[in-house]
Structure 1
C-alpha cells in the first residue's frame, strides 16, 4: 500500500501498550512529512479494559476523530477487540490482527462465551479486503521481552505500508527507554518479517 492520507484505528486491552503504539504511529506520520493527530477514545487505565485510539495522517488534519466506516487499517491487539470494531473499517479497508486471546471479565466469570475462531474469521473476511495476522506475544518472547508485543505489531503494520523501516525504528527509539531500544528493534523486525497476509 502506498503511503498517502491514512486513517488508523488501534484497539486492544489495557496493559497491551496500545496507546504507546499510537504515540509511535503518530510520531512516524510527522517524520514522514504528514500532519498527524491522534485521539484516545475509550481509555481504561486498568488491565483488562478496552482501549481504543485513532491516528490520522494527512496534509492537514482538522480532527483526530475518524468517522465510522472511514478507517483504512484497523489494528487489533486482541481478536475480540477486532470483532467489536469491524464496523469502523471502510469498504476495502485492511485488518491487522494480533493472534493473542485475552478473555474479558464476563467470559472469565462464565457470563459470556468467547466467540469461536471460525466465526470470527468469517466476520473478518466479510468486513476487510485483506486480513493480516501476527503472533505478537510469541514474537515478542523470541525478541526477549513479552512487553514488546506492541512493537511487534507495529513491525507487522510497517510491512503493509510503503515506508522505510528506519523511519519506524527512529520513532520507536524516541518513545522507549534507552535500555529497551535494542529489544524493541528486534521485536519490530520480527513483526515486519513474520506477518501472515491472507489473500
Structure 2
C-alpha cells in the first residue's frame, strides 16, 4: 500500500527541508520512496509544494487530485489552494499562520477570512500554531520541523530513528533544538 503526503507552503518556510528529512527517514526505514518538488516562485514568497509517496513499491512521485492521505500546510491559505489533492477521507494539518501574497500586499486581493473554519467544514482538520511553538522553543526557524513532527505522528512513523536523521542532516549546534521541535509537533496531533 502506497501512502501519499503533500506538504505545501510559501517559499522560505522550510517546506523542502522538512520533506527531505521525511524522505530520508522513510528510506532508512526501508520504504520505497519517491519525492517531487515544485518551487514555483518560491524565491519570491510564492507557492511551494513537495509530494512524498512511500510504500513497498512506488511507481510515481506525483500525487494526483484526490490522492493525498494527508495535506500538511505550512501557511493556511495554501491548504485551501491544494485541498483538491486530498483523498475524501484524508486529513489536513494546517499551520495557523498567514503570509500575504503579492496580490494581497498590492491591494488587488483580500486574504480570505476564516480559512480554518472553511477547511474544517470540508475535511478532518487539525489547526496548530507551529510559529508560536517555535518561538517558545526559542527559534522561529524550527516551525518546519514542528510540522514534520505532526506528519510523523499522524502517519504512525514514530518507530523511525528520527534522532539519527536529525543528527545526520542538521548542524550539530541545532540538533537538540530540532529534536525538541519534532517532539513538540508529535504532541500537537
Matches within 5 A, 1:1-199: 5-117=2-114, 120-128=115-123, 130-164=124-158, 167-195=161-189
Deviations 1:114-155 (A, max 9, x none): 0111xx234313442x21122111111111211010001111
SS at match of 2:161: helix
Change (3 A) 1:24 1:71: same
Q: State the alpha-carbon separation in 1 of the partners of residues 42 and 118 from structure 2.
A: 29
Paired residues of 1:38 and 1:64 also in contact (CA < 8 A): yes
Shift of 1:166: 5.7
Q: State the alpha-carbon separation in 1 of the partners of residues 111 and 42 from structure 2.
A: 23
Instruction: Return the TM-score normalized by structure 1.
Output: 0.88
CA RMSD of aligned residues (A): 1.7
Deviations 1:77-131 (A, max 9, x none): 00000010000001101101011111111111111000111xx234313442x21
Paired residues of 1:158 and 1:165 also in contact (CA < 8 A): no
Instruction: Return the TM-score normalized by structure 2.
Output: 0.92
Q: State the alpha-carbon separation in 2 of the partners of residues 54 and 94 from structure 1.
A: 15
Paired residues of 1:91 and 1:127 also in contact (CA < 8 A): no
SS at match of 1:68: coil
- Alignment gaps of 5+ in structure 2: none
SS at match of 1:154: helix
Paired residues of 1:9 and 1:74 also in contact (CA < 8 A): yes
Number of equivalences = 189
